[in-house]
């Protein structure tokens, strides 16, 4: 091997997999046709990588999620899914009456994986032919590929259940069996991804990793093993891996910094010098320079290219000066190939100059403490257990078509605006009819909660085809933050005041918080993240002030990604949380006492950020929790401000019944004995834009019915 990448986007350059998945779920195509689409995408990927000159090709496809693939490969399928029509997709998305497995963020990325459930009784067996099938498929096309699998340590560390890590030895036996089968199939290399090893690990966990890789590398007849540790430095896990019999280690030299060449103990270094986490061109001279200390090097990306769009060539609308600074997946593969060639020719490169840090800016805060604000907000006249939603309403095909027509110049702005106004009126009427207490305008004018703001702020560019997989069939198009961020005019005031003019009920203004805007964008590299977030916070703060001045009494500033930018290493986390929380407080500082600030967060395991959530000092916090049982409540149980743990899992098409919601709500009230019932909010887990009205209307009606039932008992 001279050049490789750790993985490639799999959703398809035109999101072919997304379309096929959705067609399959709606029974418009069958399993065979879905498989055919997957095969076409794999074939196209390998062919393209080979054309670009990449030597070692990964086989890193997944129909939905690579973590779920690994769990299913070991037959770690909880009993309740076995009778499902399609157990794989039932685990991923649920089926009638059967909720899906939990889903959460893949390390500090915006990719979400399905959390495997592994307990003392899970019987591991090698059942999946997937890696073998793909190897055969590639061979038939003339390619030798390296199967990429989530490694056993990461799989079990990410799983939930009773002490999953205790099951590592059993799981490793199945991996060993798979290695032997791959070898019999003629496979030369296999890649086991162990990003969990770049986070803090206990001595017992490191010992477990040592045992796992001693066992796997001791397998008699096996392919060579590449263990990939990305998203940071391997740290203490490095000597552990280096002492085992594996042949190669992939190291993230971008996020993890340089390593001691001696640490490799003669193993092959798969050197991640082309970033898989951003869209900037690599400074090839600098990368070459950083490769110099090492022997036995394979040039690679820092992680899978799953996190970047396919091809910059298609972005013909971008400013040429910006375009010249960018690289998407295809361009990054070309960089890897070029670096490998230049390295082979003995070129040494030269280090790039270090960026300079800007001065810190001063920070604003809200004036009064919560009790004073709560008293001032009594003017809103809300009932106990107020019912609200998180912001977006279903984005119908009709709305999307109107937006596409506007973008393509087939619809005039006025016509589009009329369409949006009609939609807002519809959303308001639906909520009035269903009896919600705090309404939203439904966000029909927003393609995406970050992209919309990026399109209205200076310093951002947006792409046309730059889709990146978020989970399953869902993709986002992260904007590119490339310059200084400024707000030149109000962004949301017009639609917010229009919505409020239609009803006597309060309508929440809806903004995206500074951390989330940055976390879901590709961010410039020449400024520290903190400085970038502070610039965005100043811009959001201006919008909060304008909304409040326009008479909007409740403003929600979403910060679902607060946790995403969190460093993986514990000793760096507090500093991050301090400045991230401060940025949020700056962003909301413009609200007077009587303006109620809401925030929304989307993760169900809040234990590690509970302090930070409190620190945001929002008057009301809505947070995902429907899939997670009591976890959120356990973490936030002594909260004194408004709290709305989600009681409707919007990631699933399932409509929860009144009894189910009422039970959940009763559980919430029991778990929050110190919180007066007017501070307990009733809401879905997240926005409704991915659902249909057929699902949403009955579900919200059930939320209102459940809240009404419980109010009577208070
Ligand atoms: N207000 C946004 C919406 O409802 C929040 C989405 C999110 O948390 N990801 O769509
Ligand atoms: Zn959310």
Whether residue 310 is found in the same domain as residue 418: no
Q: Which ligand is nearest to the CA of 392?
A: 1
Whether residue 329 is found in the same domain as residue 406: no
**pLDDT the model gives residue 358:** 64
Q: Which ligand is nearest to the CA of 450?
A: 1
User: Residue whose CA is closest, atom 6 of ligand 1?
Assistant: 687
Q: Compute the distance from residue 471 Cα to the ligand 1 centre, in Å.
A: 15
Q: Pick the last residue of a domain from 344, 367, 398.
A: 344
Q: What is the DSSP string of 103-172?
A: EEE-TTSS-EEE--B--TT--------HHHHHHHHHHHTT--EEEEEE-HHHHHHH-BSS-GGGGHHHHH
**pLDDT the model gives residue 360:** 59
Decide if 78 is inside a domain: yes
Of 110, 390, 510, the one to substitute when testing ligand 1's pocket (max ligand atoms within 8 A of C-beta) is 390
CB 543 within 8 A of CB 486: no
Q: Name the stretches of the chain with pLDDT < 50.
A: none
Q: Which ligand is nearest to the CA of 556?
A: 1
Q: Which atom of ligand 1 is nearest to the CA of 391?
A: 4
Q: Compute the distance from residue 623 Cα to the ligand 2 centre, in Å.
A: 7
Conformational region of residue 346, where left means phi above 0, alpha means psi within -120 to 50, and beta covers everything else:
left
Whether residue 266 is found in the same domain as residue 381: no
Whether residue 294 is found in the same domain as residue 427: no
Q: Compute the distance from residue 538 Cα to the ligand 2 centre, in Å.
A: 23
Q: Compute the distance from residue 651 Cα to the ligand 2 centre, in Å.
A: 10
Q: Residue 91: how many CB atoms within 10 A of its CB?
A: 27
Integer angstrom CA distances of residue 222 from 175, 216, 225, 566, 671: 11, 9, 8, 38, 52
**pLDDT the model gives residue 359:** 61
Decide if 3 is inside a domain: no
Whether residue 294 is found in the same domain as residue 396: no
Residues, CB within 5 angstroms of ligand 2 (ion): 560, 602, 686
Of 687, 688, 696, the one to substitute when testing ligand 1's pocket (max ligand atoms within 8 A of C-beta) is 687
pLDDT digits (tens, 9 = 90+) for 449-472: 999 999 999 999 999 999 999 999
Of 427, 509, 560, 562, the one to substitute when testing ligand 1's pocket (max ligand atoms within 8 A of C-beta) is 560
Q: What's the domain range around 431?
A: 375-445+493-713
Whether residue 173 is found in the same domain as residue 247: yes
Whether residue 240 is found in the same domain as residue 307: yes
Decide if 108 is inside a domain: yes
Q: Compute the distance from residue 390 Cα to the ligand 1 centre, in Å.
A: 6
Whether residue 214 is found in the same domain as residue 336: yes
Give catalytic residue positions. 651
**pLDDT the model gives residue 637:** 75
User: Residue whose CA is closest, atom 10 of ligand 1?
Assistant: 687
Decide if 36 is inside a domain: no
Q: What is the DSSP string of 512-577?
A: E-HHHHHHTSEE-SSS-HHHHHHHHHHHHHHHHHHHHHTT--EEEEE-TTTTTT--SSHHHHHHHH
Whether residue 521 is found in the same domain as residue 654: yes
**134/121 Cα distance (integer angstroms):** 30
Whether residue 329 is found in the same domain as residue 379: no
**58/250 Cα distance (integer angstroms):** 13
Decide if 564 is inside a domain: yes
Facing residues of 190 across strands? Answer: 225
Decide if 130 is inside a domain: yes
Q: Compute the distance from residue 560 Cα to the ligand 1 centre, in Å.
A: 8
Whether residue 519 is found in the same domain as residue 576: yes
Whether residue 405 is found in the same domain as residue 315: no
**263/265 Cα distance (integer angstroms):** 5
**575/583 Cα distance (integer angstroms):** 13
Decide if 140 is inside a domain: yes
Q: Compute the distance from residue 618 Cα to the ligand 2 centre, in Å.
A: 16
Decide if 150 is inside a domain: yes
Q: Which atom of ligand 1 is nearest to the CA of 687?
A: 4
**291/336 Cα distance (integer angstroms):** 12
**616/583 Cα distance (integer angstroms):** 9
Closest CA to 620 of 639, 648, 647: 639
Q: Pick the last residue of a domain from 327, 344, 361.
A: 344
Q: Pick the last residue of a domain from 344, 365, 400.
A: 344
Q: Which residues line ligand 1 (CB under 6 A)?
A: 390-392, 443, 449, 510, 558, 560, 600, 602, 686-687, 689
Angle at 362 between CA 359 and CA 368, to 5 degrees: 160
Domain CATH code at residue 340: 3.20.20.210
Tokens of 383: 């009932």
In the block, tokens 């290219």 appear at 305
User: Residue whose CA is closest, atom 4 of ligand 1?
Assistant: 687
Of 399, 449, 519, 563, the one to substitute when testing ligand 1's pocket (max ligand atoms within 8 A of C-beta) is 449
**pLDDT the model gives residue 362:** 59
Angle at 480 between CA 479 and CA 483, to 5 degrees: 130
Domain count, the chain: 2
* Strand 480-486, strand 522-523: pairing: parallel
In the block, tokens 């998305």 appear at 93
């Amino acid at each position: 091997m001279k050049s490789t990448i750790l993985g490639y986007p799999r959703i398809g350059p035109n999101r072919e997999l997304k379309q096929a998945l959705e067609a399959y779920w709606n029974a418009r195509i069958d399993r065979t046709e879905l498989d055919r689409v997957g095969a076409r995408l794999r074939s196209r990927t390998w062919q393209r990588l080979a054309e670009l000159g990449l030597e070692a090709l990964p086989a890193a496809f997944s129909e939905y999620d690579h973590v779920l693939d690994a769990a299913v490969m070991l037959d770690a399928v909880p009993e309740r899914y076995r009778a499902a029509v399609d157990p794989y997709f039932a685990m991923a998305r649920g089926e009638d009456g059967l909720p899906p497995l939990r889903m959460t963020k893949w390390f500090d990325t915006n990719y979400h994986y399905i959390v495997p459930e592994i307990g003392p009784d899970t019987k591991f067996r090698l059942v999946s032919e997937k890696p073998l099938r793909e190897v055969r498929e590639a061979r038939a096309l003339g390619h030798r590929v390296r199967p990429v699998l989530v490694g056993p340590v990461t799989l079990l560390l990410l799983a939930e259940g009773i002490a999953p890590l205790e099951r590592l030895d059993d799981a490793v036996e199945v991996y060993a069996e798979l290695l032997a089968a791959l070898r019999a199939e003629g496979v030369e290399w296999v890649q086991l991804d162990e990003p969990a090893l770049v986070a803090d690990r206990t001595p017992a966990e490191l010992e477990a990793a040592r045992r796992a890789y001693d066992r796997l590398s001791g397998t008699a007849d096996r392919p060579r093993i590449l263990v990939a540790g990305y998203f940071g430095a391997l740290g203490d896990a490095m000597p552990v891996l280096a002492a085992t019999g594996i042949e190669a280690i992939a190291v993230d030299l971008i996020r993890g910094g340089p390593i001691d060449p001696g640490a490799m103990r003669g193993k092959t270094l798969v050197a991640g010098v082309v970033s898989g986490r951003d869209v900037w061109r690599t400074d090839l001279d600098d990368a070459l320079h950083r490769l110099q200390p090492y022997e036995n090097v394979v040039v690679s990306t820092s992680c899978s290219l799953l996190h970047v769009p396919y091809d910059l060539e298609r972005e013909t609308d971008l400013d040429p000066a910006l375009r010249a600074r960018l690289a998407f997946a295809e361009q990054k593969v070309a960089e890897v190939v070029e670096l490998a060639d230049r390295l082979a020719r003995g070129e040494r490169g030269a280090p790039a100059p270090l960026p300079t840090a800007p001065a810190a800016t001063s920070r604003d805060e809200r004036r009064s403490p919560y009790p004073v604000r709560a008293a001032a907000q009594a003017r809103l006249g809300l009932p106990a257990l107020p019912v609200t939603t998180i912001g977006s309403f279903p984005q119908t095909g009709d709305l999307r078509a109107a937006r596409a027509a506007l973008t393509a110049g087939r619809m005039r702005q006025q016509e589009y605006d009329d369409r949006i106004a009609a939609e807002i009126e519809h959303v308001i009427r639906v909520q009035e009819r269903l009896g919600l207490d705090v309404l939203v305008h439904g966000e029909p004018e927003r393609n995406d909660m970050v992209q919309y703001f990026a399109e209205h702020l200076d310093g951002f560019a947006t792409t046309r085809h730059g889709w990146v997989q978020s989970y399953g069939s869902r993709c986002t198009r992260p904007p590119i933050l490339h310059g200084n961020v400024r707000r030149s005019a109000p962004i949301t005031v017009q639609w917010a005041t229009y919505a409020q003019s239609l009803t006597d009920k309060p309508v929440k203004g809806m903004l995206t918080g500074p951390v989330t805007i940055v976390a879901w964008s590709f961010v410039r590299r020449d400024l520290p993240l903190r400085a970038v977030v502070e610039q965005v916070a100043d811009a959001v703060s201006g919008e909060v002030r304008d909304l409040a001045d326009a008479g909007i009494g409740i403003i929600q500033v979403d910060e679902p990604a607060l946790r995403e930018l969190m460093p993986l290493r514990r000793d760096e986390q507090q500093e991050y949380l301090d400045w991230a929380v401060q940025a949020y407080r700056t962003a909301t500082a413009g609200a007077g006492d009587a303006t109620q600030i809401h925030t929304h967060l989307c993760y169900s395991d809040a234990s590690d950020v509970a302090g930070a959530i409190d620190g945001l000092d929002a008057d009301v916090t809505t947070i995902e929790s429907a899939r997670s049982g009591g976890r959120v409540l356990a973490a936030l149980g002594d909260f004194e401000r408004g709290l709305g743990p989600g009681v409707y899992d919007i990631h699933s098409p399932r409509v929860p019944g009144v009894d189910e919601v009422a039970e959940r709500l009763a559980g919430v009230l029991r778990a929050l004995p110190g919180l007066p019932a007017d501070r307990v909010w009733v809401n879905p887990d997240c926005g409704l834009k991915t659902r249909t009205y057929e699902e949403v209307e009955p579900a919200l009606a059930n939320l209102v019915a459940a809240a009404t039932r419980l109010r009577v008992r208070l």
